Amino acid sequence: MSFEQFSLDPRIVAQIKAVGYSTPTPIQQQAIPRVLEGRDVLGLAQTGTGKTAAFLLPILQRLTQRRSRRVRALIVAPTRELAEQIYQMCLDLGKVTKVRAVTVYGGVSKSSQVSRLRAGVEIVIACPGRLLDIVDDGNLDLSRVEVLVLDEADRMCDMGFLPDIRRILKLLPAQRQTLFFCATMPADIRELADRILKDPVTVQIGKIAPAQTVSHALYPVPPNLKKRLLLSILEQTSTGRVLIFTRTKYRARNLARDLVKRGYRAAALQGNMSQNQRQKAIDGFRSKKYDILAATDVAARGIDVSEISHVINFDIPDTVDAYTHRIGRTGRAHRSGEAFTFAGQEDAQLVRDIEKLLGTQIERRRLANFDYGSFVPENQFKTTYSDPRRKTPSQHRRNHNHANGRRNGPRRRPQRRK
């Protein structure tokens, strides 16, 4: 299948090629024709599947057919980072057709957003709070919106945005196209989707589980050895960009600081940083100024950096959904990645839940040449620990290479600061 088959404006197709997409991803194959027909869509897909382009391309097609200076498409996203990512893709894919878009979110000056709105835009990409703020000020009219996208709707509900979403819905014309994307389907999301979608087409990409291109590994480790284990893994493993998740802002900050002290090009990404500092960290990660980002879940939402080779769960996530979101940062669209999770016996229940979601047992690893002291990794999660001695020699070799953090190709240390 190719992008030519969608009957998109040739300028848009040319731009898709210029951006570097050769074939549509499965969600794009399924969703784009239906969105172009004007149908409401319920898209069940995690990040990394290409869902953004799946809704942006038909929107660009619609706007290109008839130009106007009114807000005709509204895309609502839970975080500034995700809004920026959608905006960036909108700029990339809409470069030739010059569709005007603006981002609207809190934490930055309202006046520049308002003046861009006043100049006339066709797409507004917004976080709920600031959007309502600007509407309440009388600076934005949503009564002509033709397409509404709710992206990561489940995240928005998790973050308490449901009342804001309900208010936004009241500001929109009843006659519109609605595209609803989420990675999970809890009861409140199902109820919201049922209420606002008219005769929707459901587009689901596989199971609602982490991307298939990611391989998962579990490192049993007690809390006091985590940092040393991380450093040893970084020393021994061939990595590209590494995203490390911690449970708290404080731990993200400290971990980044320790890594920098040891010569790694690392930065923190956590909620106590200003929007400006956060954007700098993300941009630095994207431009390869930093190889490692130590982040909290909230701060890392919506981060769109391709070629993340490793996601390391320094602290296991609080929920299975959070695991899916974290892991969605690697293995994005046709690429592969590795997800390492550090876990102690206290995390046993979450490990079981994640394995249920994955439908398979996560491979246990013990890092070779690492002093675990009296801790015996093989004694943890005992019921499911696979014994490498029972494997065939070739499997054993592969296991050994894994244990040393090696996969394909020669070992390369992460770059140290010059």
Residues at the site binding ligand AMP, with contacts judged by CB under 6 A: 21, 24-25, 28, 47-53, 304, 306, 332-334
Q: How far is the CB of 97 from ligand AMP (least distance, A)?
A: 18
Per-residue tokens: 148: 């509404």
- The half-sphere exposure of 19 on its side-chain side, counting CA atoms within 13 A, is 21
Helices then strands, counting H and E runs in the chain, come out as 16, 14
Residue placing its CB nearer to ligand AMP in the complex, 201 or 333: 333
CA distance 85 to 303: 7
Instruction: Give how far Cα 286 sits from Cα of 154, 186, 297, 392, 414, Å.
Output: 26, 33, 18, 41, 16
- What one-character DSSP code corresponds to residue 4? G
Residue placing its CB nearer to ligand AMP in the complex, 52 or 113: 52
Q: How far is the CB of 361 from ligand AMP (least distance, A)?
A: 27
Q: How far is the CB of 51 from ligand AMP (least distance, A)?
A: 5
Q: What is the SS3 assignment for 291?
A: coil
CB 311 within 8 A of CB 211: no
Beta bridge partners of 214: 337
**For the stretch 268-277, what's the b/e string if a residue is b when 16 or more beta carbons lie within 10 angstroms of its beta carbon?**
bbbeebeeee
Which helix (H) or strand (E) segment holds residue 30: the answer is helix 26-36
Residue placing its CB nearer to ligand AMP in the complex, 145 or 305: 305
Residue placing its CB nearer to ligand AMP in the complex, 269 or 308: 308
Q: How far is the CB of 325 from ligand AMP (least distance, A)?
A: 11
CA distance 241 to 230: 15
Residue placing its CB nearer to ligand AMP in the complex, 43 or 344: 43
**Residue carrying structure tokens 């991307």:** 211
Residue placing its CB nearer to ligand AMP in the complex, 22 or 111: 22
Q: How far is the CB of 306 from ligand AMP (least distance, A)?
A: 4
CA distance 3 to 16: 8
Q: How far is the CB of 104 from ligand AMP (least distance, A)?
A: 20
Q: What is the SS3 assignment for 92?
A: helix
Residue placing its CB nearer to ligand AMP in the complex, 28 or 380: 28
Q: How far is the CB of 334 from ligand AMP (least distance, A)?
A: 6
What DSSP string describes 11-26?
A: HHHHHHHHHT--S--H
Q: Enumerate residues 6+ apart whose C-beta is below 8 A from 131.
A: 76, 104, 124, 140, 164, 168
Beta bridge partners of 313: 245, 341
Residue placing its CB nearer to ligand AMP in the complex, 291 or 304: 304
Q: How far is the CB of 294 from ligand AMP (least distance, A)?
A: 22
